[in-house]
Chains A and B, each alone.
Chain A
Amino acid sequence: MLDARDFELLTEIQSGLPISPRPYHDIGLALGMSEAEVIERLAVLKQTGLIKRLGVIVKHRALGYRANAMIVWNIPDALVETLGDRISRSSFVTLCYQRPRTSEWPYNLYCMIHGKDRDTVLAQLEQLSVNCGLQAFDREILFSRRCFKQRGALYLPVAPAQSAEYSHG
């Protein structure tokens, strides 16, 4: 469902659309694609979910959102889907994922709450916990401290697989 041209297109736009009057035309020039084809392919990629959203990607820390908590729970496998769906319906939850436990890390459900101050985030978490029936499960709250690196997701081109020469780094 993702053909080679779609892949080239996603690779080309992942670091951002040009901020110029005809961005799809400019992208098409780089790829040997017409402006109409770029627009059509992007519309299909959005419909099929290969693009989750297309728009302005904000830097929340720079905009005052500095109390950002990752909350992890250890949820029985049979309940994780139901609770994950329930958590993700909460308006202040920005992400919700299931990940595998490891021998040293017993948690399998993750969510993020981004906020401007810690007390608000903790109050939202308690509300979430009550609303979704999460009180009984072991959890940890991991507020972020230093940000060592942050940039958009850049999937590196397929070839060449050796390091060093990537232009996006």
Chain B
Amino acid sequence: MLTDLHKHLLNDFQRDFPLVERPYLEIANRLGVSEDEVLSALAELCDSQLISRVGPIIPPNQIGASMLVAMAVPETELQRVADIISHYPEVNHNYERENRFNLWFVALASTAEHLAKVLDAIERETGYQTQRLPLINDFFIDLGFRLDLTHA
């Protein structure tokens, strides 16, 4: 069960996190609670895996190379192939989707050369081809995710 404090932290601070010496104190002041309460509540949200972090969203290809990759894998092979892919530290998302191309993952590396090597290795290891779909144009400024938490 989420408290009101949890809900405010989830929805109101997805962007413009305060750039001041004591940002959690500033948040606490805005919400009328103590700094300790904010720190504990954020730690709880992390521990319960409802937030991944308090941190930055860095656009693709700014400090490294990034690639969306699609693969078409027979259903019976999917878990095995997905496990191989997830094992790579360069892979950060890996999802099954409803399509002939049923496995979609994002891989990141510090250089395009290293990224290509990783994807070549994944093709060799799994025996399936990759569709490499790099970003051409990012139309959307990601301002966060407005959550409906009325029943949370």
Seen from chain A, the residues whose Cβ lies within 8 Å of a Cβ on chain B are: 2, 7, 10-11, 13-17, 19-25, 35, 39, 42-43, 45-46, 49-60, 62-65, 70, 80-81, 84-85, 87-88, 91, 93-100, 102, 104-105, 108, 111, 114, 116, 140-158, 161, 163, 166, 168-169
Which of these, A60, A63, A146, contacts B96 with CB under 8 Å? Answer: A146
Query: B88 — which chain A residues lie within 8 A by C-beta?
Result: 163
The answer to the question of B1 belonging to the interface, with a C-beta cut-off of 8 Å to chain A, is: no
A158 to B90, CA, bound (A): 12
Q: Scoring B residues 113 to 152 as 1 if CB is less than 8 Å from chain A, else 0, what string do you get?
A: 0100000000000000001111111111111111111011
Residue of A nearest to B12 (CB): A56
Whether the Cβ atoms of B58 and A56 lie closer than 8 Å is no
The 6 closest A-B pairs by CB, nearest first: A16-B53, A169-B89, A84-B139, A98-B137, A155-B64, A149-B94
Beyond A54-B56, A98-B137, A100-B136, 19 additional contacts (C-beta under 8 Å) are: A14-B55, A15-B53, A16-B53, A16-B54, A24-B21, A39-B21, A51-B56, A52-B59, A53-B15, A55-B14, A55-B54, A70-B104, A81-B137, A87-B139, A93-B140, A96-B138, A102-B132, A148-B94, A161-B110
Q: Which residues of A contact B140 (CB under 8 A)?
A: 88, 93-97, 111
A115 to B142, alpha carbons, bound, how many Å?
17
Q: Are A59 and B50 in contact (CB under 8 A)?
A: yes
When the two chains form the complex, which single residue of B20, B22, B91, B145 contacts A58, counting CB atoms closer than 8 Å? B145
B95 contact from A13, A35, A144, Cβ within 8 A: A144
29 contacts between A and B (CB under 8 A): A15-B53, A16-B55, A17-B55, A19-B24, A21-B39, A46-B19, A55-B14, A56-B45, A56-B51, A62-B48, A64-B151, A70-B97, A80-B137, A87-B139, A94-B142, A97-B135, A97-B138, A98-B136, A99-B68, A100-B133, A143-B97, A148-B83, A149-B85, A149-B93, A151-B93, A152-B53, A156-B90, A156-B108, A168-B89
Please name all residues of chain B whose beta carbon is closer than 8 Å to the beta carbon of A143 when the two chains form the complex: 97-98
Assembly CA distance A63 to B97 (angstroms): 20
Chain A residue at minimum C-beta to C-beta distance from B113: A161
Question: Chain A residues with Cβ under 8 A from B106's Cβ?
Answer: 153
Report the bound CA distance from A15 to B136 in whole Å.
25
Is B63's CB within 8 Å of the partner chain A? yes
List of B residues within 8 angstroms of A22 by Cβ: 21-22
B145 touches A21 (CB 8 A): no
Asked whether A158 and B110 contact (CB < 8 A) given A2-B62, A163-B89, the answer is yes
Question: Are A50 and B15 within 8 A (Cβ)?
Answer: no
Give the docked Cα–Cα distance between A35 and B50 (Å): 29
**Which residues in B have their C-beta under 8 angstroms from that of A56?**
9-10, 13-14, 17, 42, 45, 51, 54
Kindly report which residue of chain A lies nearest to residue B103, judged by CB atoms.
Answer: A148
